[in-house]
Amino acid sequence: MDRYHARRQRLRKQLRAAQVESLLVTNFTNVTYLTGFSGDDSYLLVNPSDEVLITDPRYTEQLSVECPDLRLVVRKPGTSMIDGIVRACQAAKIRRLGIESESMTVGLRDRIADRIPRVDIVPLEPLVERQRSIKDAQEVAAIRRAIAVAESAFTVMRSRIDLGQTEQQFANALESDMRSKGAKGASFDPIVAAGPRSALPHARATSATLGESGFLLVDWGADVEHYKSDLTRVLVTGKIPPKLERIYRVVLKAQRAAIAAIRPQARCEDVDCAARSVIEEAGFGSRFGHGLGHGIGLDIHELPRFSRRSQEVLEPGMVVTVEPGIYLPGWGGVRIEDDVLVTKAGCEVLTHLPNDWEDAFAIPA
């Protein structure tokens, strides 16, 4: 039994528990997870004893290579995906159809209901996403490779940093180096933010030069074999701004407290609290405005999610980011992020780039 068949079998057990016969998978990433098909614009209908991919002629050759045993419904030119969905559902004689309520639009749901009015359409919780949150050995290996590529590229960029470069030039060169090392691309547009702009957690790289301020925040990751990595480091690029060392050490202490709390059956809110309490005790609680982290995998943001209200429980095989931060408008921000695997005994930090204060200097002090 291959890994994709095993995943669909686990999903079928969940569908039986939800008392639906079939699930129409409309999230393209979930389709990839369940089949190995790396394209998009295709839906998967998972039935009690088989499955069918609803696609179009653009992908038939690709599917013959990636999923040679997958049954297809190929819509003809001039017809819509709705036609393919209806055809597949009628052929399977479905009475209760589960849908992915987190990804299907209301418009698509209504169009399906109009075409097959005798079928009960049942919105379901994110079943596939929950299954995806626990990685198998091959997935963890792919994430390790994505981390290794990201770290190698960052090390190269750091060794030849040019303070006359713009944030955008640095971001472009970082992504180019990751591609040269085997990445499909960046996990997301790299965040490169100098000085005051680092107070924006999701800052976009601009024409500001790296040397305009005394420090630089870089948040980046590599996409390798469709799996993502996600890291953040702060680099000191000039004269140390007042407060930077103090804030950096608080954030680092918070991150280490959170990592120490990661273990099977730990609640995500408790891990978040472990970091947040350190930052609050230092007087910066109001300056840590986002959750502690999130799962990574085929998507850069997956389940589980660390927040002060998350009741999710950690399980072995989950890979999560741990990324506390402190952001002071007009001054800048510090975030330190690493990728962590939940193991049976506790956890393993998958990233290897050092993050002590002494390691933050882009140019040796």
| 88-100 average pLDDT score | 93
Full residue range of the structural domain in which residue 99 is found: 3-131
Residues 149-207 have pLDDT tens digits of 999 999 999 998 999 999 999 999 999 999 999 999 999 999 999 999 999 999 999 99
Strand ordering across the sheet containing 120-124 = 71-74, 51-55, 43-46, 22-25, 96-100, 120-124
Q: Are residues 163 and 104 in the same domain?
A: no
Nearest to 50 by CA among 76, 23, 28: 23
Reported pTM: 0.94
Query: What DSSP string describes 229-264?
Result: --EEEEEE-SSPPTTHHHHHHHHHHHHHHHHHH--T
Task: Look at residue 205 in the predicted model and tell me its pLDDT.
Answer: 94
Q: Please check whether residue 342 lies inside any domain of the structure.
A: yes
Q: Count how many domains the chain has.
A: 2
Whether the predicted pLDDT of 363 surpasses 70: no
Residues 293-344 have pLDDT tens digits of 999 999 999 999 999 999 999 999 999 999 999 999 999 999 999 999 999 9
Q: Are residues 8 and 56 in the same domain?
A: yes
CATH number at residue 281: 3.90.230.10
Task: Look at residue 1 in the predicted model and tell me its pLDDT.
Answer: 55
Q: Are residues 119 and 150 in the same domain?
A: no
Q: Please check whether residue 365 lies inside any domain of the structure.
A: no
Residues 250-286 have pLDDT tens digits of 999 999 999 999 999 999 999 999 999 999 999 999 9
Q: Are residues 123 and 162 in the same domain?
A: no
CA–chain centroid gap for 335, Å, is: 18
Q: Are residues 59 and 194 in the same domain?
A: no
Q: Are residues 118 and 144 in the same domain?
A: no
